Amino acid sequence: MPDLTRQTTDILALHALTIEMAAPAVAWGWAMVDGERYSDGIWALTALTPPFHWSEISDLVAQIVREQGLVSPRSQGEATRWLAWGHLEDIIASGGEDFNSLKLVSRLWFDHETPDLHIFYKLKHAVREVEATGQQGHVDGVTRENWKAVLVQTCADWLADHPRPDPFGEG
Of the candidates 28, 22, 23, 19, the residue with the CA atom closest to the CA atom of residue 167: 28
Does 171 score more than 80 pLDDT? Answer: no
Residues 35-63 have a mean pLDDT of: 96
What pLDDT score does 1 carry? Answer: 47
Residues 35 and 6 sit within 8 Å (Cβ to Cβ): no
- Measured CA to CA, the distance from residue 117 to residue 105 in angstroms comes to 7
Q: What is the pLDDT of residues 4-47, one digit of tens each?
A: 999 999 999 999 999 999 999 999 999 999 999 999 999 999 99
The whole-number pLDDT of residue 51 equals: 93
Task: Give the pLDDT of residue 130.
Answer: 96
Which of the four pLDDT bands, split at 50, 70 and 90, describes residue 86? very high
